Structure 1
Amino acid sequence: MQNKVSIIIPAFNVEAYVERGIESALGQTYENVELVMVDDGSSDGTWGVIERYASDNRVKCARQANSGVSKARNHALSMATGDYAVFLDSDDWLELDTCDQLVRMRRKHPNMLVAADAYFVTMDGGREGRKAQGTNLAARTFTPDEAICEFGVFNSVHIGSSCYKLFSMDIIEKNHIRFDERISHTEDGLFVFDYLKCCAGLYYEPIPLWNILERPGSATTSGYTHKMLSSLDAIGQMISRPGNSPDAIAHLEAFRAHEALRILGLGIDSGDMTEDDRRALLDALADGKVDRARLSGVDKVRLALYPNAPAFLSRVFNGFVAHAKKGGN
């Protein structure tokens, strides 16, 4: 009998988008799936869309007061009855053979976290454009430390995301792995990190199995908020976990500096960053633990620019970087 795959969707105010993800989950070519959805206190018609599927015996759904994506995912994990878990954001959708492909990979590498890739989907005048990510990469296995040293690496395997992966529920439950509900950014990276500490490593194939929609107002396109600073707490927890190699610790320190610089840049661009937040971010860059040779060229410029230069110069530089990155997509 096929192992069961629990597809987990946390949802918040995505009335116009969530149906596509639901249909992609229920339309999987892999037969033994369940869909577990938790509405995180939506104020639009999201729950009404979810309720339309409640009569399907493959669907479990629940509502909670708005408490954040980490609590919604944890709620869903407590409801899940599958052998494996797949996480899908509520405005994204799966390729119809996603579970078949992931289970195939898991059978080849039974003691590893298995990971695939995604299509990056943009909207232009009502028309969708899709570009496969990972096209320059090759199938590869990583030890846990090697995988950790990919966190935050641009144009690499998306190891820091809870999407694109198939998790063993046995490993999750035996090791009491959950999303930290105090953290709202990089919470999924911390979840993956803790999982990697409990398995043999990661196996990756550059097959696009997720569709990631870029849309205004999504978590990936939102501007600066104070909650972003919780990302530094998440990485701090990774650094403090026992068993890290010196190389992994050095990489995570550089990753933490990158996050501080990225958030600081967003705050400068927004003009809404408080002085307390600015000081906290600068303090994270001044602790003397970062091997600057591990920083990218862009981060080295940011590090020289942000603490002392006028805000308008930082904004000009940020605009140049954003334009160059968009051209690369």
Structure 2
Amino acid sequence: MQNYNLLISIIIPAWNVEQYISKALESCIAQTYTDLDILVVDDASEDCTCEIVGQYCKKDPRVRLEKKEHEGVSAARNKGIELAKGQMAIFLDSDDWLNCDAIQILVKSYQEHPGYLIGAKPTFVSEQEQCSCISDSVDKECAAVVLSQHDALMNTDTDYYRNASACYKLFSLDVIRSNHLKFDKEVLFGEDGLFVFCYLNHVKGMVYHNVSIWNVLMRSTSSTRLRYNEKFMTSIYGVEKMLAYPHEKSDEIDTMLKKFLVTKSLNMIRRYLDCENTDSVIPKQYRYYIRKYKTAYLKTATAGETIRTIMILYVPFSIYAAIYRKTHCVQ
């Protein structure tokens, strides 16, 4: 294949993933693009994760293992950023795997569009659906969508370009380091979206390929699929940090972020109620943010969204909760 003269670091945070780490590493080693630095940052695993990674280090000199104390995925990724040897980097979760031409597609796109964040589409795979083979991508010549910085930032709150995740993307390590970008350890849910938002403020925009190059394992025990957790509140702090981060100052972007924050708060209250919680303290915290930014949200809200917002803000929580549970069949 064509040599692009770029060393790509694949940064893999790992914690107690002995069941999955082999497949992730096999998919890295099988890449058609071979100029790789494969760095596993182990977050104090208590199972056989390190032993398995150590075996791969012996078989392939591109694989490296860094051990650290247990601090969470953000700290592990930050250590990976610090130690990565490449000019560019991707962040691969330890239970996900790449199609064999994933890096080739991303690097080729970066060569055609230097100075942009490069992204592509993931495929979400259940534990029952996953297979042992590592495939290549279909429709790999699909035309790319080139977004300006403004348009990329305006898609912070949408699902299509997957900007809520730092995965499925190729980043410049020079941009990350020169602008002191890190994953925020205080934001436990939504830290990826905050990182991508900050990064986009230092590049020309985003190039997105509607081509699936990445396989995401939907584990039943994944943190994003757990019942309501008070740590979810930090996702709201993440959006507030986006508002505070020096970004392209436009009313459009600020309004989008305020609406995004209200939408998150409304959805968190719903998730809270779906889990049969009754305490009013947590919803009161979300109501504070809804009230603070409701003007921006209500400008484009539907009639149903407006009614829902007004009820959450002004109807006593016990009454709203009873109405919600009855209409949504929550016991």
In the superposition, the TM-score normalised over structure 1's length comes to 0.87
Q: Specify whether residues 306 and 147 from structure 1 end up closer, same or farther in structure 2 by C-alpha distance, changes over 3 A only.
A: same
Letter in 2 for 1:106: Y
Residue aligning to 2:262: 257
How far apart, in 2, do the equivalents of 1:210 and 1:170 lie?
Answer: 24
CA contact (8 A) 2:262 2:297 kept: no
CA contact (8 A) 2:24 2:96 kept: yes
Residue aligning to 1:109: 113
Letter in 1 for 2:46: S
Which one of the candidate residues 10, 22, 25 is aligned to 2:25? 22
- Worse-superposed segment, 237-246 or 97-106: 237-246
How far apart, in 2, do the equivalents of 1:6 and 1:88 lie?
Answer: 10
- Worse-superposed segment, 91-100 or 138-147: 138-147
Residue aligning to 1:166: 170
Unaligned runs of 5+ in 1: 321-329
Residue aligning to 1:60: 64
Question: Could you list the per-position Cα deviations for residues 193-214 of structure 1 after superposition, in whole angstroms to 9, with x for gaps in the alignment?
Answer: 1111111111111010111111
Matched, 1:214 2:224: no
CA contact (8 A) 1:4 1:83 kept: yes
Question: Could you list the per-position Cα deviations for residues 65-121 of structure 1 after superposition, in whole angstroms to 9, with x for gaps in the alignment?
Answer: 221111010011111000110011111111110100000110110011111111121
1:265-280 map, 5 Å = 265-272=270-277, 274-280=279-285
CA contact (8 A) 1:41 1:64 kept: yes
The offset of 1:297, in angstroms, is 7.7
How far apart, in 2, do the equivalents of 1:22 and 1:295 lie?
Answer: 45
Which one of the candidate residues 176, 180, 186 is aligned to 1:176? 180
Across the two proteins, how many residue pairs are aligned to each other?
Answer: 314
Residue aligning to 1:31: 34
- Worse-superposed segment, 232-241 or 139-148: 139-148
1:79-90 map, 5 Å = 79-90=83-94
Provide the identity percentage. 31
Which one of the candidate residues 291, 294, 298 is aligned to 1:292? 298
Residue aligning to 1:143: 148
1:86-101 map, 5 Å = 86-101=90-105
Question: Could you list the per-position Cα deviations for residues 223-250 of structure 1 after superposition, in whole angstroms to 9, with x for gaps in the alignment?
Answer: 2111111111111011122333110000
Q: Specify whether residues 314 and 10 from structure 1 end up closer, same or farther in structure 2 by C-alpha distance, changes over 3 A only.
A: farther
How far apart, in 2, do the equivalents of 1:259 and 1:162 lie?
Answer: 19
SS of the counterpart of 2:164?
A: coil
CA contact (8 A) 1:265 1:318 kept: no
Q: Specify whether residues 93 and 306 from structure 1 end up closer, same or farther in structure 2 by C-alpha distance, changes over 3 A only.
A: farther
CA contact (8 A) 1:306 1:314 kept: no
Residue aligning to 2:195: 191
How far apart, in 2, do the equivalents of 1:25 and 1:195 lie?
Answer: 24
Residue aligning to 1:6: 9
The offset of 1:54, in angstroms, is 2.5
Unaligned runs of 5+ in 2: none
How far apart, in 1, do the equivalents of 2:304 and 2:54 lie?
Answer: 46
Letter in 2 for 1:38: V
Q: Specify whether residues 77 and 313 from structure 1 end up closer, same or farther in structure 2 by C-alpha distance, changes over 3 A only.
A: same
How far apart, in 1, do the equivalents of 2:304 and 2:166 lie?
Answer: 26
Letter in 2 for 1:88: L
How far apart, in 1, do the equivalents of 2:322 and 2:158 lie?
Answer: 28
How far apart, in 2, do the equivalents of 1:189 and 1:47 lie?
Answer: 29
How far apart, in 1, do the equivalents of 2:174 and 2:242 lie?
Answer: 22
Matched, 1:44 2:54: no
CA contact (8 A) 1:113 1:202 kept: yes
Letter in 2 for 1:36: L
CA contact (8 A) 1:50 1:61 kept: yes
How far apart, in 2, do the equivalents of 1:123 and 1:99 lie?
Answer: 24
SS of the counterpart of 2:220?
A: coil
Question: Could you list the per-position Cα deviations for residues 110-159 of structure 1 after superposition, in whole angstroms to 9, with x for gaps in the alignment?
Answer: 0111111111212448879x9x9x9xx973111222111112224x1112
CA contact (8 A) 2:123 2:214 kept: yes
SS of the counterpart of 1:115?
A: strand
Question: Could you list the per-position Cα deviations for residues 287-327 of structure 1 after superposition, in whole angstroms to 9, with x for gaps in the alignment?
Answer: 1443324457875565356554543543566679xxxxxxx
How far apart, in 2, do the equivalents of 1:241 and 1:193 lie?
Answer: 9
How far apart, in 2, do the equivalents of 1:164 and 1:126 lie?
Answer: 18
